[in-house]
């Protein structure tokens, strides 16, 4: 598989099972509730524009996905920011440019919508994921995320 054999398209509601299968293959456990909630928001709500994408191989098999959302400002006017909150590439298709293509086309799509900045969160102990985002031009934010354990 080469980058040219990969098709990127907007995510559809019917992609849920394929997204679940990829995520479970990566993590070793199902997050069905999480994805059902995300898909409900994406495809059953009037306040979200389509921003999430999927990657398909030459046979039409879904091999990756990226999900995010635009931030709505006052009176439904878009702010210049969006988030990339979930990404997954089938382990059998990793290290072949799928994730890079997904992120690149996700950024192009958001730029066309007027977005100027995209945020994501990564656990500091996730070295591979940090390197992936760094290779895709993400840099540490000037905003510090704070937490308090209870």
Express each pLDDT in 57-104 by its tens digit: 999 999 999 999 887 666 555 567 888 999 999 999 999 999 999 999
Least confident of 12-21, 40-49, 95-104: 40-49
Question: Beta partners for 68?
Answer: 84
Which residue, 112, 106, 109, is CA-closest to 120? 106
Which residue, 9, 121, 138, is CA-closest to 63? 9
- Listing DSSP states for 32-99 in one string gives HHHHHHHHHHHHH-TT-----EEEE-TTS-EEEEEEEEEEE-GGG-EEEEEEEEEEEE-GGGTTTTHH
**pLDDT tier at 146, thresholds 50, 70, 90:** confident
Which CATH code of 3.40.630.30, 3.40.50.720, 3.50.50.60, 3.65.10.10 fits the domain covering 3-121?
Answer: 3.40.630.30
**pLDDT tier at 36, thresholds 50, 70, 90:** very high
Contact yes or no for 119/68 (Cβ under 8 A): no
Task: Look at 97 and 44; give whichever has higher pLDDT.
Answer: 97
Q: Which residues of 47-70 are buried (b: 16+ CB within 10 A; e: fewer)?
A: eeeebbbbbbbeeeebbbbbbbbb
Q: Sketch the domain layout of the chain as residue ranges.
A: 3-121
To the nearest whole percent, how much of the chain has pLDDT over 70?
89
Q: Which residues contact 63 (CB under 8 A, 6 or more apart)?
A: 6, 22, 55, 56, 57, 89, 90, 92, 93, 98
119-142, pLDDT tens digit by residue? 998 888 888 989 999 999 989 888
77's tokens: 């006017």
pLDDT at 97: 93
Average pLDDT of the chain, as a whole number: 88
């Amino acid at each position: 598989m080469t980058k040219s054999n990969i098709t990127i398209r907007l995510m559809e509601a019917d992609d849920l099972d394929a997204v679940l299968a990829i995520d479970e293959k990566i993590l070793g456990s199902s997050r069905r509730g999480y994805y059902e909630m995300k898909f409900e928001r994406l495809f059953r709500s009037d306040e979200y524009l389509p921003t999430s994408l999927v990657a398909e191989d030459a046979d039409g098999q879904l091999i990756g996905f990226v999900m995010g959302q635009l931030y709505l400002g006052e009176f439904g006017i878009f702010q210049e920011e969006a988030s990339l909150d979930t990404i997954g590439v089938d382990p059998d298709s990793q290290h072949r440019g799928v994730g890079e293509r997904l992120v690149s086309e996700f950024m192009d799509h958001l730029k066309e919508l007027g977005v100027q900045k995209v945020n994501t969160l990564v656990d500091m102990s996730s070295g591979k994921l940090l390197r992936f985002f760094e290779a895709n031009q993400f840099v540490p934010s000037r905003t510090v995320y704070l937490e308090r354990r209870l």
